[in-house]
Structure 1
Amino acid sequence: MTCYDLTHALETGMPVYPGSPPAVVERAATIDDGARVTRLDLETHVGTHVDAPSHMARDGASLDDFDVERFRFDALRVDCTHLGAREPISPSDLPSPTDHDLLAFHTGWDDHWGTDAYRDHPYLSDAAAEWCADNGYSVGLDAFSPDPTPSVDPDREGPDEPEGYPAHDALFEAESFIVENLTNLDAPPAEFTLLAFPLAIVDADGSPVRAVADAG
């Protein structure tokens, strides 16, 4: 079995979605105290994580409503590295329908992790998101969100500044999952098994995952 790690490390000061509190990973006790223990203070949508429909759908299902097998995906990488900052992923970028159950959109934007430019990632157009939902795909991507992320400039306006979350809405209505902040999507072959198991959190709207590509 050949595995590829697609996960950003959890650490203090790591990038978080605009408006979210900072993530803190700190020492709670040391060997001198009898044992080393680390405390995590972070939201469920930090780092590489999976979204449940309940994240934005009022009556949406939570992660613990699904069997753990649902978080093992037959994935197909979709190359979107030709897209620039804040450009939409359009239906012309999508593959013909396949037997896979997750499309992993490789934008290359993980190269900007830790910089303001990470907010300026490509995103799914409304039509592309609806196509994914209609064809039964979950979505993974190496970016904050399948929707546009607010820019650093609070006065900036434009069609690529977020107005709602249409990609999330379309996918959640179809009970599709969204795996965000992936990295190293260029490492595995184009077809792979994505393992993105969430923590067993009661009524969770999302959870950090250790995302791994199993190339067999």
Structure 2
Amino acid sequence: MPTRDLSQSLDADATVYPGDPPVESTPAATHEEDGYRVTEWRLGTHSGTHVDAPSHTEPDGKNLDAFGVEEFAFEARLVDCSGVGAREPIGSEMVPERESERGRTETNGMETNGTAKSGTARAEMVVFRTGWADHWGTDRYFDHPYLTREAAATCADRGFHVGMDALSPDPSPSERETAEETEPEGVPAHRELLGSDRLVVENLTGLAGLPERFELRAYPLALAAADGSPVRAVATW
């Protein structure tokens, strides 16, 4: 079974959302002085490839520990948005239809309606490939495409969680380019998705060449009352 790591590396060069803590590491113990090695890491809950909990934007939203671990394994559907330019919107026409029970068929050992062959319900996710992972670690990364409110609402209405190879499903602050007047204010895509208890996985990489359908596992750390967490995102197909 092919397997691919879709996670960005967490190091001092990791791109973080403006205002978030930078990723830092310092030795807490060394072989020379202590006979063993321990490293102290400092980072925010939304560092690197990570998953957003509803409580990230919703005051009464669920924290990550309210979700069962099985809910972080998704049947993913890849949508190629690489033709969308810098700071341009991804509209609801890019969101796939949810397939009916009648139309389901088996694909790579999975049912195409998001149900495992055993009959166990499996979460479905739309993964939007923008190509912006190529700009990781540069100022250009902040100028990624984004989801319109309508696109995010369509995902939520159709029962899809969302993954992206970009910093956010909403426009990110940027000093490189002036924001377009048509850009939404605030985080409407986050609010539509997280307000509907949909999870959002951000800063994916390595999406080029993946099949249209694959399994994405993005397990968060077992943090108490977390609004988000870095993940090791892995695709299999």
Question: One fold, TM greater than 0.5?
Answer: yes
SS at match of 1:129: helix
- CA positional deviation for 1:2: 1.6
Residue 212 of structure 1 corresponds to 234
Question: Does the 8 Å contact 2:165/2:205 carry over to 1?
Answer: yes
Contact 2:97 / 2:158 at 8 angstroms: preserved in 1?
Answer: no
**The 10-residue stretch of structure 1 (137-146 or 156-165) with the greater mean CA deviation from structure 2:** 156-165
The superposition leaves residues 20-43 of structure 1 with CA deviations (integer Å, 9 ceiling, x where unpaired) of 121102322221121111111000
1:180 maps to 2:181: no
One-letter identity of the residue aligned with 1:129: A
* Residue of structure 1 equivalent to 2:166: 143
- 1:193 aligned residue: 215
- Listed as ranges, the matches of 1:107-122 within 5 Å are 107-122=130-145
Q: 1:8 matched to which residue of 2?
A: 8
Q: SS at the partner of 2:128?
A: strand
Distance 2:175 2:76 in 1: 32
Distance in 2, Cα, partners of 1:15 & 1:162: 22
SS of the equivalent of 1:196 reads strand
- Name the structure 2 match of 1:75: 76
Name the TM-score, length of structure 2 as normaliser.
0.87
Bigger radius of gyration, 1 or 2?
A: 2
**1:164-213 deviation digits (Å, cap 9, x = unpaired):** 10000000121000000000011421211100000000001000000000
Output the amino acid matched with 1:24. E
Q: Does 1:132 align with 2:155?
A: yes
Q: How many residues align?
A: 214
Identity of aligned residues (%): 53
Q: 2 CA distance for matches of 1:27 and 1:56?
A: 34
Structure 1 residue 160 displacement after superposition: 5.5
Distance in structure 1 (CA, Å) of the matches to 2:182 and 2:37: 46
Give SS of 1:133's match.
helix
Cα 1:201–1:160 change in 2 (3 A) is farther
Deviation at 1:13? 2.9
CA distance in 1, matches of 2:149, 2:227: 23
State the Cα RMSD in Å. Answer: 1.4
Aligned to 1:207, what secondary structure does the other structure show?
A: strand
Report the Cα offset of residue 162 of structure 1. Answer: 5.2
**For residue 205 of structure 2, what is the amino acid of its counterpart?**
T
* Structure 1 residues 160 and 114: CA distance shift in structure 2, 3 A: farther
User: In structure 2, what residue type is equivalent to 1:208?
Assistant: P
Q: Which moved more, 1:43-52 or 1:19-28?
A: 19-28
Q: Which consecutive residues of structure 1, in runs of 5 or more, have no partner in the other structure?
A: none
- Secondary structure at the aligned position of 2:189 is classed as helix
Distance 1:213 1:135 in 2: 22
TM-score (norm 1): 0.95
Secondary structure of the residue aligned to 2:153 is helix
Cα distance change on mapping 1:4 and 1:15 into 2, 3 Å: same
Q: 1:168 aligns with which of 186, 190, 202?
A: 190
Amino acid at match of 2:72: F
d(CA) in 2 for partners of 1:46 and 1:110?
Answer: 14
* Residue pair 1:148, 1:160 contacting (<8 A) in 2 also: no
CA, structure 1 residues 211+184, in 2 after alignment: closer, same or farther (shift >3 Å)?
A: same
2:169 partner letter: P
